[in-house]
Structure 1
Amino acid sequence: MTKLWYALVAFLSLLCASRLSAYPQMTAHGYSSCLACHVAPSGGGLLSAYGRSLSREVLSTWGAENEEGVLHGVVPASEVLLLGGDVRALQLFMRSPYVDLGRFIWMQADLEAGVRLGEFTVVGSIGYQNPTSANYSGSSFFSRKHYVLWNFSETNFLRAGKFDGAYGIRWPDHFMFARRDLSWDEGSESYRLEWAKLEETWQLIASVSIGRPDAPQLQIEKAATVRLAKYFGENHQIILSAHYGLRSTTNRFVFGPSAVFTLLEGLSVFAQVDFQQAAKFGFLEYLRINYEVLKGIHLYGMQELSVLDASSASTTKQAYTLGVQWFPRPHFEFLVGLRKSTSGSVATGATDSLMLLMHYYL
């Protein structure tokens, strides 16, 4: 029963993980590069002025003129000072043969700002850190990310600071096996140096990380990460990613392909396979199908598999998720997800979860 309780606490902490403002569904609208909407070359976080415009014109069901601006247009737009922030909350219901619970969780409350000074952009955030979050650093207030970005030529960027490395398809959902089982959980941001080469038909993002010298108790690995993406037309891309991490116990190497295809108008397929060589050899995969039934309303289904030790069936985990994601107006996102997961490591039977996510961005 103790193991079951630890598993429950771990699962809740994973669901508490923040969802960065990155939406791969934008690929279906011809925006394969994250830089189209975000300040960071690898996406997530602070929106550019053009990204805010797309949040109304492309992402949302409805929207009035200038509604996409900071605080619904109250703050005048600026090319020098960029402002943003996120507030997220989750209502979780979970049931298994051993657990039946409902819980409301404050996931995130962050403010983020950036200042553009010629070729340089300085970005930083400050906000709330849930004590039950994975990689809790010991304080309820912290900076999730901060960095200096240098756009030293039209297609070249250098970035130094604290942020996530670029690997695979940049989903914000930390509960996915492809994130949590590969240790890319909430709070896994580290201090790193990143180079990004962004061309019209391809991009290469490579970084080296020194971990978290400010929080050694978290034992965040030192690492090198590379992500190469090739675009085919406006709505398709193939991605190859590799990651080598130095840990105190054992090093690891993770690599794998990803693919994004738009089959019909509004219908997109996202797939990824990862192989990991650590103390044991393992593999993970997922397939997600997304359909935009009406502007701003997305139905999705996802299948996941995780086998962290290919020689042991007890490490096999599977999950199936059905959900609806709605962006009614700029600044608002709602998500309802039903997830059924099984694990071979503990004889608990299937776990059914209902997730109700509410997100407001400034």
Structure 2
Amino acid sequence: MKALWYAVVAALALLSASRVFAYPQMTAHGYSSCLACHVAPSGGGLLSAYGRSLSREVLSTWGAENEEAVLHGAVPASEVLLLGGDIRALQLFMRSPYVDLGRFIWMQADLEAGVRLGDFTVVGSLGYQNPTSANYSGSSFFSRKHYVLWNFAESNFVRVGKFEGAYGIRWPDHFMFVRRDLSWDEGSESYRLEWAKLEETWQLIASLSIGRPDAPQLQTEKAATLRVAKYVGENHQLILSAHYALRSTTNRFVIGPSAVFTLLDRLSVFAQVDFQQAATFGFLEYLRVNYEIHQGVHLYGMQELSILDTSSVSSAKLAYTLGVQWFPRPHFELLVGLRKSTSGSAATGATDSLMLLMHYYL
């Protein structure tokens, strides 16, 4: 029964995984700061005009002039009104000794807009929330994020509202152990106050979260989060992150280093290690290698380990993923991933997953 439970949980986690438009692979092209492409200091969500141009010139295999603009150029560009949104669908196949399933699911359908008023930017989104989300708030129609951003000095930003805190390498894949097992699953945005100091060779992002007072049934933790990153050259990053949270049961503290290295022109390595002290002491890590074989076409391999209780072998989880990610033209992303994972004792058998992701951004 325990093995069946693990397999079902894994299936639900993959089905509910939603992605935020943010791609750490851009570090290989010299764009270490998320602000180079996004409105938010920690990345994700609305793209700036420069970010849209990079989506055609750097991220995509092909692209015509002005194709990267909202609705392929049908909406005139504006420095005041920023528009965006995401539509994502997943075809998932899973097989284990206890589960054999195939399912198509709409993951996300959001519209997002921002208005720039001098040094202030107001951002909000409206869209669909999957009922299988680990943080389902009771309605399929919701606002994933909304905040006010104040650029009060050249490299200083203050943000207040509902959004995700900055921790580690900002991968959008919520099925990763370092996200799901550390309670940063889909829908983990909370109300927080954030300060970001973004310099040319380093950045610091600190935030305080009051949880989800709008959805008390979720019992979302209240937390302080810190992320410090040092840029080494144009294509490397060293990061240290920490997170202390107050919970209704046991408080927790998470800390860990992460790093991004570009070894060759198109070969990048991403690594992260996290230690968690909660009711038990836990250890998590992953190593991801990404190779861009042609502009917009990425091959990647990833190894993950999660041990939420180092005193118990049954809490150990291991996964290996091989995949291809392709950005054929601006607004489009396609991904195929093969994942093999094990939970607890090897006698429970492995779970094999095939993920086919389709993503369109406005």
The question of a shared fold, defined as TM-score above 0.5 by the shorter chain, is answered with yes
Which residue is equivalent to 1:166?
166
Of all paired residues, the percent bearing the same amino acid is: 88
Taking the TM superposition and a 5 Å limit, the aligned residue runs for 1:1-362 are 1=1, 4-5=4-5, 7-9=7-9, 11-344=11-344, 348-362=348-362
* Larger CA deviation: 34-43 vs 5-14: 5-14
Residues in 1 aligned to 2:31 and 2:186: alpha-carbon distance in whole angstroms: 26
* Larger CA deviation: 308-317 vs 80-89: 308-317
Residues in 2 aligned to 1:6 and 1:291: alpha-carbon distance in whole angstroms: 32
Query: How many residue pairs end up in the alignment?
Result: 362
Q: Give, in angstroms, the shift of residue 6 of structure 1.
A: 7.1
Counterpart residue type for residue 297 of structure 1: V
Q: Give, in angstroms, the shift of residue 84 of structure 1.
A: 0.1
Contact 1:226–1:241 (8 Å) recurs in 2: yes
Helix, strand or coil at the partner of 1:136: coil
Structure 1 residues 55 and 76, CA gap change in structure 2 (3 angstroms): same
Q: Give, in angstroms, the shift of residue 356 of structure 1.
A: 0.1
Counterpart residue type for residue 301 of structure 1: G
Tell me, which stretches of 5 or more residues in structure 1 are unaligned? none
Contact 1:202–1:228 (8 Å) recurs in 2: yes
- Deviation per CA, 1:10-30, whole angstroms, max 9, x where unpaired? 532343221100000000000
Q: Give, in angstroms, the shift of residue 99 of structure 1.
A: 1.0
Contact 2:301–2:321 (8 Å) recurs in 1: yes
- Deviation per CA, 1:240-289, whole angstroms, max 9, x where unpaired? 00000000000000000000000001000000000000011111000000
Instruction: Give the TM-score of the pair, scaled to structure 2.
Output: 0.98
Counterpart residue type for residue 8 of structure 2: L
Residues in 2 aligned to 1:310 and 1:275: alpha-carbon distance in whole angstroms: 10
Residues in 2 aligned to 1:111 and 1:346: alpha-carbon distance in whole angstroms: 44
Helix, strand or coil at the partner of 2:263: strand
Residues in 2 aligned to 1:12 and 1:65: alpha-carbon distance in whole angstroms: 41
Residues in 2 aligned to 1:347 and 1:243: alpha-carbon distance in whole angstroms: 35
Q: Give, in angstroms, the shift of residue 348 of structure 1.
A: 2.9
Moved over 6 A (4+): none
- Deviation per CA, 1:195-247, whole angstroms, max 9, x where unpaired? 00000000000000000000011111000000000001100010000000000
Counterpart residue type for residue 304 of structure 1: E
Helix, strand or coil at the partner of 1:167: coil
Residues in 1 aligned to 2:144 and 2:14: alpha-carbon distance in whole angstroms: 16
* Larger CA deviation: 128-137 vs 340-349: 340-349
Counterpart residue type for residue 174 of structure 1: H
Residues in 2 aligned to 1:319 and 1:9: alpha-carbon distance in whole angstroms: 15
How well do the aligned residues superpose, as a CA RMSD in angstroms?
Answer: 1.2
Residues in 2 aligned to 1:9 and 1:287: alpha-carbon distance in whole angstroms: 23
Contact 2:110–2:126 (8 Å) recurs in 1: yes
Structure 1 residues 240 and 5, CA gap change in structure 2 (3 angstroms): closer
Residues in 2 aligned to 1:193 and 1:15: alpha-carbon distance in whole angstroms: 30
Q: Give, in angstroms, the shift of residue 133 of structure 1.
A: 1.3
Instruction: Give the TM-score of the pair, scaled to structure 1.
Output: 0.98
Helix, strand or coil at the partner of 1:264: coil
